[in-house]
Structure 1
Amino acid sequence: MKASCRKNYDVFKIRYFNSEHTCPVRDRILTKVQATVGFVSGVTVPKLVNHKRIHTPKDIIDDIREFYGVQISYQQAWCAKERALEMLRGKPSDGYKKLPRYIYMLNNVYPNSYIRMHKSVEDEFMYLFIALRPLMRGFDYCRPVVVVDGAHLAGAYKGTFLSASTLDGAGCILPLAYGVVDTENDCSWTWFFEQFKNAFGEREKMCVVSDRNESIMKSVRIVFPTVPHYACIWHLWKNVCGNFKRSRNTISDLFYSMAKAYRKEDFDTLMAKVDKVDHRVKEYLEDAGYEKWSRVHSTVNRGRMMTSNIAECINGCLVEARQLSILEFLEEVVPSSEFIFSVYEVGRRYIVCLERKECTCGRFQLDEIPCAHAIVVLKDKNVTDMHPYYSDYYKPDTLAKTYEVPMVPMPDKEDWSVPSNVVDETVWPPRYKRLAGRPRKRRKKNADEKIIVKINCCGRCGQEGHNKRTCTFFPKEK
């Protein structure tokens, strides 16, 4: 580019300009650019909205290098991820501060639920128990078999997630109650079972199934002294394998067949085969008590729930959520029906109900057409025909019927043929008083309407307040 100053003026005139550059854009713009932790965290936030997505510091390093051509260290990427997570979810301690509000809202959304929180003398969180009313009512129509289990949380404050569940008549998992405790021990499990008893009571022929956790067994004996406690046959078999490694491959099928046998004759036949393979295994299973793990020897009917797998399934679905704060973790636990779904957009959650054709964004029910959140749900459920979720007003058949009756032009006035009684009918115009002055042709604007004042711009310099003839920015040629 070449430019020169005009004589006696502070104005430069460009003589020559070449807009084509031979050097790369990266060399001209990103020379010696450094990516700060704040910049990297802002770029990383959208990729961490979904907590189930794995995005490691190494991925962040690759993204910054690919899109911006800047190399950052692993420490910078790690700090940026931590800051991005704090921007999205806040501090881990904030979840505990918001628990009272969360419990209040749960009681409003699910009236007559049983929700209890226990704190220490210093108001520090200890235990939380949640039994929602829909789940409490659903248990009345299920077999009184309760499967309990715990899973450790991986957040900043750790803790343990406790759950109680059962199977419905269709063989699907029905969560009954859940909660969070600071530590899994005798006191926490006893408190959990006490709350469970207050919420659900003690049904006839009720039983509890769990792994061979000592705290669970002690707590059941304390809170439910008349309710039998059964061991998960899978955990019992783990103990058998640990004590008798040589016989585990031979006895495996025999053990599970014995546990699930419906007749004592079949059980005795299988146990005789086990005795031939290794009599020590038979003695171990006798000491454990047949009624604790065998279906045919149980004192109450435990149905198909021979293991604690349904509780393990719930824990497995919450593996990624265990790293969240306690409030976000509890939000993942709340169950929905087969018609209700949660959709996240830019960090905000929208509730979509396909049965009632509603979404909390308001568009689905007002426009009567699936909104973006409903479309995401329908696609996730592999629904190809979305016509049932549209209003009839939008369908082609309705649109065709709208214009089914054609509009024809009126005949000429000379061709009008009307009866005499219509011709003789008298109609006078309304009373009218003309106002003084010239009639207004434009609408009178209200005081709150914005008045746009058009300002002239110069045709030479483009500035406002003057025109090309009075422009002083560029001097006139003499």
Structure 2
Amino acid sequence: MAQEDYNLDMNTESVQLAYSLPEAMMQHMASDTPPIHVTSDRQVRNLLEIAKTHEVRHCVSSLSKMKAVSEEGEEDDEWDEADEGNKELRLTAVRRRFSFRIYKSMKTLLVETCRVNGCGWKIRASVKHETNTFWVNKYVETHTCSVGDRIAQRKHCTPKALLYAQELVRGSAEDGYEQLPSYLEQISLVNLGSITGLELDSLNKFKYIFLSFGASIRGFQYQRRVIVVDGTHLSGKYEGVILVAAAQDGNFQIFSLAFAIVDGENDESWEWFFTKLASCVSDEYPLVIVSDRHTCIKNACDKVFPWATRGICYYHLQQNIVQKYKGKHLLYLAKGAAYAHTLYDFDRYMDEIRSANPELATYLENADMTLWSRILCQGDRHNIKLAASLNRLIPH
């Protein structure tokens, strides 16, 4: 998990977390106070408390195997070009949280040192044997400067640099798609009962992927039988849409049940998603599926889950009221109608909406009032407030 979150090398052997105290706290401490290394649960709690009120810069360092040469000058590595050597050094600097500077750069010689003045870290490479081949003939691996000095010299990475480092560590998007079959196979082996699906198009290229962990499927048996589904567009290299199905546990937390990545929100993709989802949910007990008013969701749900009760999410309904009808000042009336406990109260709120904005009243009526009104609901009623949180949870 730490490897993925912080773009660390997959060969990482150990990870260390350190952070510098905020400037407001440093004013009451010695100027050479070193960064604090997090090594216990107590220090983790302290870091979380500080982060609530101050901006904290933290540093993640890792220890991984790296080919190197000794100070005596053994030649263990070579680069075809000086730029290739700089790429390797940049990746090493990211992994070991330090910055370097080019001390000397010539056609036949490259010398780079740590950015901290007086530090003994150094690497020297020169051309030997072939015109464009650089050989490392001296490498002083140990830094003589302090960790605090190295952190102070680190530059903020640009988005381009972050993408470059991420690709070096994680591989390209193409590599990820190529490894999907193996990944799904490993999921099935280590998380028994998981349901996965991978579908290719007519050109044998990626089309759909579905994943529901066995632990999630078993855990859903103990949740309220309400599933909220939603989708959002992805902004990666190949874009696409991520579809998510989630429930809410007894502690009112999001309980992820399944997700899929498809080419777009259409009848075919949603029907495929619901078909896979049906294998994760039993039809032994009543089920409620909540979504926005997307027509494709309705069509797929009616076809795959004809026995389930549908519901429209009030959170999405509220957004449409504000955006399409400029009815922010009428939200309290719409909410009153949605949550009314008696027909008398429901009719009273709807009459007020009809008097203030007839078009909005027509919109609410056409949205099928049995799907968004508590009093008119034809299925089981649950106190579930999940869509807003799920919408923020889904990555874009």
Shorter-normalised TM-score: what interval? 0.5 to 0.7
Deviations 1:37-85 (CA, angstroms, capped at 9, x unpaired): 86267436665999xxxxxxxxxxxxx9x9499xxxxxxx777555433
Residue matched to 1:294 = 373
Query: Cα offset for 1:291?
Result: 0.8
The answer to whether structure 1 residue 249 and structure 2 residue 296 are counterparts is: no
Residue matched to 1:313 = 392
The answer to whether structure 1 residue 262 and structure 2 residue 309 are counterparts is: no
The alpha-carbon distance between structure 1 residues 81 and 168, as it changes in their structure 2 partners (threshold 3 A), is closer
The answer to whether structure 1 residue 196 and structure 2 residue 243 are counterparts is: no
| TM-score of the two chains, using structure 2 as the length reference | 0.59
Letter in 1 for 2:290: V
SS at the partner of 2:279? helix
Query: Map of 1:63-462 to 2, 5 A cutoff?
Result: 67=115, 81-245=162-326, 248-305=327-384, 308-315=387-394, 318-319=395-396
SS at the partner of 2:280? helix
Contact conserved, 1:144 with 1:207, CA < 8 A, in 2? yes
Contact conserved, 1:41 with 1:83, CA < 8 A, in 2? no
Letter in 1 for 2:357: D
CA distance in 1, matches of 2:265, 2:228: 16
Letter in 2 for 1:209: V
Contact conserved, 2:267 with 2:297, CA < 8 A, in 1? yes
The alpha-carbon distance between structure 1 residues 132 and 281, as it changes in their structure 2 partners (threshold 3 A), is same
CA distance in 2, matches of 1:113, 1:269: 49
Query: Map of 1:49-60 to 2, 5 A cutoff?
Result: none
Residue matched to 2:86 = 39
Letter in 1 for 2:341: Y
CA distance in 2, matches of 1:153, 1:255: 32
Contact conserved, 2:270 with 2:296, CA < 8 A, in 1? yes
Residue matched to 2:103 = none
Equivalences, count = 261
SS at the partner of 1:171? coil
Letter in 1 for 2:258: A
CA distance in 1, matches of 2:159, 2:256: 37
SS at the partner of 2:293? coil
Contact conserved, 1:209 with 1:232, CA < 8 A, in 2? yes
Letter in 2 for 1:221: D
Please identify which structure carries the higher strand content. Answer: 2
Deviations 1:103-147 (CA, angstroms, capped at 9, x unpaired): 121111111221121123443211111111111111111121110
Query: Cα offset for 1:221?
Result: 1.5
Contact conserved, 2:173 with 2:237, CA < 8 A, in 1? yes
SS at the partner of 1:200? coil
SS at the partner of 1:252? helix
CA distance in 1, matches of 2:242, 2:275: 16
Query: Cα offset for 1:167?
Result: 0.8
Query: Map of 1:459-478 to 2, 5 A cutoff?
Result: none
Contact conserved, 1:125 with 1:182, CA < 8 A, in 2? no
Q: Which runs of 5+ in 1 are unaligned?
A: 1-34, 51-63, 70-76, 320-478
Deviating 4+ runs (over 4 angstroms): 35-38, 44-50, 66-69, 77-82
Query: Cα offset for 1:95?
Result: 0.8
Contact conserved, 1:149 with 1:312, CA < 8 A, in 2? yes
Contact conserved, 1:295 with 1:306, CA < 8 A, in 2? no
CA distance in 2, matches of 1:186, 1:47: 45
Query: Cα offset for 1:198?
Result: 1.8
Letter in 2 for 1:94: D
Deviations 1:430-460 (CA, angstroms, capped at 9, x unpaired): xxxxxxxxxxxxxxxxxxxxxxxxxxxxxxx
CA distance in 2, matches of 1:49, 1:83: 17
Greater radius of gyration (CA):
1
| TM-score of the two chains, using structure 1 as the length reference | 0.49
Segment of structure 1 superposing worse, 193-202 or 120-129: 120-129
The alpha-carbon distance between structure 1 residues 310 and 302, as it changes in their structure 2 partners (threshold 3 A), is farther
The alpha-carbon distance between structure 1 residues 82 and 257, as it changes in their structure 2 partners (threshold 3 A), is same
Q: Which runs of 5+ in 2 are unaligned?
A: 1-81, 98-111, 118-157
Letter in 2 for 1:283: T
Letter in 1 for 2:275: E
CA distance in 1, matches of 2:381, 2:334: 18
CA distance in 2, matches of 1:170, 1:212: 28
